[in-house]
Amino acid sequence: MLGGRARGPRARGRPLSGEPLLEVRNLTKRFPVGGGLFGGAPGVVRAVDGVSFSIARGETLGLVGESGCGKTTTGRCILQLERPTSGSVLFEGRDLTTLDETALRDVRRRIQVIFQDPYSSLNPRMTIGAIVGEPLAVHRIVPEAAARARRVRDLLSRVGLLPQHARRYPHELSGGQRQRVGIARALAMEPALVICDEPVSALDVSIQAQIINLLEDLQAEFGLTYLFIAHDLAVVRHISDRVAVMYLGRIVEITDRKALYDDPLHPYTKALLAAVPIPDPEIEAGRPRIVLGGEVPSPLNPPPGCVFHPRCPIAVDRCRRVIPDLREVKPGHWAACLLA
């Protein structure tokens, strides 16, 4: 299964079966905070507030938004690493929120995570070979030692590492190589869904491109489904089939890639796109700057009405009172804005 070496550009138009692999419905996660040792009034952080989306098999859904908007918490709630306050997470037909830890063990094999900082998720005292081989042993995927060593070599080679890397330790590798180890370890479990949480954010641009290409190759080869969490809008556009934009715990816009980037409907999406500097001084010189004023409000005390209204350049009086639903404004194109 792991024979294939690096291949050419992936064939477009991956077959997407209609039925979703993952369906998140009305997911809400609140964290009680404060009132403890460091004081502060007790309150509730609304980290994720009524989020719904689905991902078809073989598809990549991009999840973008500024830091603190709830992307990581959404991923952790899918895995049940955080138990959602309410809502359901349907994966391969089962609602994960109803499963106990024993039942979740098997599910967690099928859903793997790739983190931003592979260093903190790799045991510094284990060799790369042991790190990739351990889950194969623990989950009895490849119980026999010699076969397991072969599989580890195959996996390392598939992610672009050399057999001798198996004997090295995480600190002896570069950031890009460590991310490859994280990917090999996830791949070892033969997952259906991979949650990529800012997998390239900590990497240099030339290395980012290497890792993105690798993720795309692996998706084509193993039919993987990705939830790709990132804050870089250009990277998300490159890798995603569909994109969801989050702001303060909510999805404010969700649609397919082309519609989102060519015809954004939510003023926040528009502002985000306008804020990204383009690597071309001639374009930058002539570009109107819609710089969004203010800062993201605290999720401890979100604004009433539309949570974006304090920063929104087109807000009207109604926006301060009415919470906009995520509406299908155009076919397949959903936005949570009263004026969209």
Partner 1 sequence: MLLEVEHLSTEFATRGGVVRAVDDVSWDVKEGETVALVGESGCGKSVTALSIMRLVAAPAGRITAGRVLFKGRDLLALSEEEMRRVRGREIAMIFQEPMTSLNPVLTIGRQMTEGAEIHLGLAPPASRDRAIELLAMVGIPDPGRRLRQYPHQFSGGMRQRMMIAMALACRPALILADEPTTALDVTIQAQILELMKDLSRRFGVAMVVITHNLGVVARYADRVNVMYAGKVVERGTARKLYRNPRHPYTLGLLRSVPRLDEPRRERLAPIEGQPPDLTRLPAGCAFTPRCAWRVTRCPVDRPALAPVGDGEHLSACWEAVHVGREREAVR
Ligand X SMILES: Nc1ncnc2c1ncn2[C@@H]1O[C@H](COP(=O)(O)OP(=O)(O)O)[C@@H](O)[C@H]1O
Contact 241, 257 (CB under 8 A): yes
Assess 10 for contact with partner 1 (CB under 8 A): yes
Query: In this chain, which of 72, 208, 225, 240 binds Mg ion, going by CB under 5 A?
Result: 72
Nearer to ligand X, 71 or 333 (CB): 71
Residue 134 is classified by DSSP as H
Contacting positions for ligand X (CB under 6 A): 31, 33, 45, 47, 65, 67-73, 299
CB of 193 to partner 1, least distance (A): 23
Q: How far is the CB of 68 from partner 1 (least distance, A)?
A: 9
Rounded Cα distance between 251 and 107, Å, is 26
Residue from 125, 128, 137 nearest 164 by CA: 128
Find the binder of partner 1 among 66, 117, 154, 190 (CB under 8 A): 66
User: Can residue 140 be called a binding residue for partner 1 (CB under 8 A)?
Assistant: no
Rounded Cα distance, 42 and 34, in Å: 4
For β-strands 242-247 and 86-91, DSSP reports them as: unpaired
Cβ 335 vs Cβ 252: under 8 Å: yes
118, two tokens: 């592979």
Task: State the greatest distance between any 2 C-alpha atoms of the chain, in Å, as a whole number.
Answer: 69
Q: Which of partner 1, Mg ion, ligand X, none does residue 88 bind (CB under 5 to 8 Å by kind)?
A: none
Where does this chain touch partner 1 (CB under 8 A) — which range of 13-21, 113-121, 135-143, 284-292? 284-292
Q: Is 79 helix (H, G, I), strand (E, B) or coil?
A: coil
Residue 336 to residue 340: CA distance in whole angstroms: 8
CB closer to ligand X, 33 vs 138: 33
98 near 179, Cβ under 8 Å?
no
**67 or 102: whose CB is closer to ligand X?**
67
Q: Work out whether 181 is an interface residue with partner 1 (CB under 8 A).
A: no
By the criterion CB under 8 A, which residues form the site for partner 1? 9-10, 12, 66-67, 174, 176-177, 204-210, 212-213, 216, 231, 233-235, 237-238, 257, 261, 271-273, 275-284, 289, 291-293, 295-296
